[in-house]
Amino acid sequence: MAQGLKVLTAVLPQDVKLETQEYDLGARRWHATGETLPDAELESLKRHDAILLGAIGDPSVPSGVLERGLLLKLRFAFDHFVNLRPSKLFPNTTTPLAGRPDIDFVVVREGTEGPYTGNGGSLRTGTPAEVATEVSLNTAYGVERVVRDAYERANARPRKKLTLVHKNNVLVYAGHMWKNIFDKVGQEYPEVTTDYLHVDAATIFFVTQPERFDVIVTDNLFGDILTDLAAAVTGGIGLAASGNINPTGDFPSMFEPVHGSAPDIAGTGKADPTATILSVALLLRHLGYEQQAARIEEAVAADLEARWGHLPGPSGQGGGSPRSTDEIGDALAARVAG
Ligand code: IPM
Ligand code: MN
């Protein structure tokens, strides 16, 4: 987070006054007070133009407490129905796809519905006769607004291609609704080429033919899984940025790295801050600072280019000592300021 703010400060024009407020949320807070996100803080967060969220989570907190009580609470409370996750193949990254032609796609993951709504239950819990349900909630309203957003994004990109990913050969209710709405909204975007893939087939193409994708729209759970795969094949989770966007502007949008908090290396200065810094770029783009956003993304590309030979590569290249969290932040701040 410190590196993200460092780069944000460095890239902003002189006449833009940045006002920040820090919120102490996450594992430490929960241990100290038992709180995840009190309503007063949620109200206070609402007043900001945007939120930059640091990676949260710690194995010492029971699984689900922070996920539901903090991250998902924010996404639901601020109606972040567009979970935007771009994937770009940066230079010199250690990925199975290194050296492949341009990979540049964006996943528009639905952010407020699907199986994430906590709609389910368990009977005879813990017994051999237990029955558990986890219902995926899909509303025409919710699907149409995210599908429309994805068409808008596809229409604004040079390739104008949109792929719907679902599993409508098995999930016949939600799957057919998604496909029908996708086709219906598509009539308003005659210039956008469309395509449909079952999610299992999509995972194959993410690895074997990722350049075929431009914009992808999918539900909350498929989008969660696909975007980790996308990160892994395009440079690693350490580079994956995301935006939880409310395109109506009714609530602040929130930007965060896709990765977790890496508690095993916390405080050692080894964590790569690049995903947070790229999330700052998405934040700036969302607020209309396109030039500054592009400067950050160019700086990251140039930085990755330059540091080759210093990090141990996939087949043992380099081997010098990797830079610290601070050094990477300093290098990127210097590049965007220069
Ligand atoms: C993500 C994360 C979250 C999700 C978890 C932590 C709830 O995996 O942002 O992708 O599943 O959305
Ligand atoms: Mn995830």
pLDDT digits (tens, 9 = 90+) for 258-296: 999 988 988 898 888 999 999 999 999 999 999 999 999
Q: What is the pLDDT of residue 332?
A: 95
8 Å CB contact between 199 and 218? yes
Active site residue 200: yes
To test the ligand 1 pocket, which listed residue (72, 76, 220) has its Cβ within 8 A of the most ligand atoms? 72
Looking at the domain assignment, is residue 295 inside a domain? yes
Active-site residue, from 6, 79, 149, 167: 167
Which residues, by Cβ under 5 Å, contact ligand 2, an ion? 224
Active site residue 116: yes
8 Å CB contact between 237 and 264? no
Global pTM value:
0.94
319 CB-near residues (< 8 Å, 6+ apart): 312
Looking at the domain assignment, is residue 95 inside a domain? yes
| Nearest ligand to the C-alpha atom of residue 83 | 1
User: Tens digit of pLDDT for each residue in 145-190?
Assistant: 999 999 999 999 999 999 999 999 999 999 999 999 999 999 999 9
CATH code at position 159: 3.40.718.10
Q: Provide the domain limits for residue 307.
A: 2-9+41-116+136-337
Distance 226 CA to ligand 2 centre (A): 9
312 CB-near residues (< 8 Å, 6+ apart): 318, 319, 322
Distance 61 CA to ligand 2 centre (A): 18
Output the CA torsion sign for 286, 42, 219, 63. positive
Question: Picking from 252-261, 277-286, 298-307, which range would have the lowest pLDDT averaged per residue?
Answer: 298-307
Looking at the domain assignment, is residue 300 inside a domain? yes
Q: What is the pLDDT of residue 125?
A: 98
Residue 286 sits at the vertex; the CA angle it makes with 73 and 14, to the nearest 5 degrees, is 120
Amino acid at 93: T
Active-site residue, from 73, 179, 189, 228: 228
Q: How many helices (H) and strands (E) does the chain have?
A: 12, 10
Distance 204 CA to ligand 1 centre (A): 22
Instruction: Give the residue whose CA is nearest to atom 5 of ligand 1.
Output: 67
Active site residue 228: yes
| Nearest ligand to the C-alpha atom of residue 257 | 1
Instruction: Give the residue whose CA is nearest to atom 12 of ligand 1.
Output: 224
CA distance 80 to 103: 26
Q: How far is CA 40 from CA 16, 46, 90, 311, in A?
A: 28, 10, 40, 44
Looking at the domain assignment, is residue 53 inside a domain? yes
47 CB-near residues (< 8 Å, 6+ apart): none
Q: Flag whether the ipTM exceeds 0.95.
A: yes
Looking at the domain assignment, is residue 24 inside a domain? no
8 Å CB contact between 318 and 312? yes
Count the domains in the chain. 1
Distance 218 CA to ligand 1 centre (A): 15
Grade residue 304 by pLDDT with cuts at 50, 70 and 90.
confident
The β-bridge partners of 106 are 86, 215
Looking at the domain assignment, is residue 30 inside a domain? no
Tokens (6 digits) for 23:
């919120």
Q: How far is CA 233 from CA 56, 64, 178, in A?
A: 23, 27, 27
DSSP secondary structure letter of residue 234 = T
In the predicted model, is pLDDT for residue 316 greater than 80? no
The β-bridge partners of 82 are 110, 245
Active-site residue, from 79, 214, 219, 224: 224
Q: How far is CA 131 from CA 115, 116, 119, 121, 221, in A?
A: 17, 19, 14, 8, 21
Strands 193-198 and 161-166, sheet pairing: parallel
User: Tens digit of pLDDT for each residue in 40-96?
Assistant: 999 999 999 999 999 998 999 999 999 999 999 999 999 999 999 999 888 877 777
| Nearest ligand to the C-alpha atom of residue 116 | 1
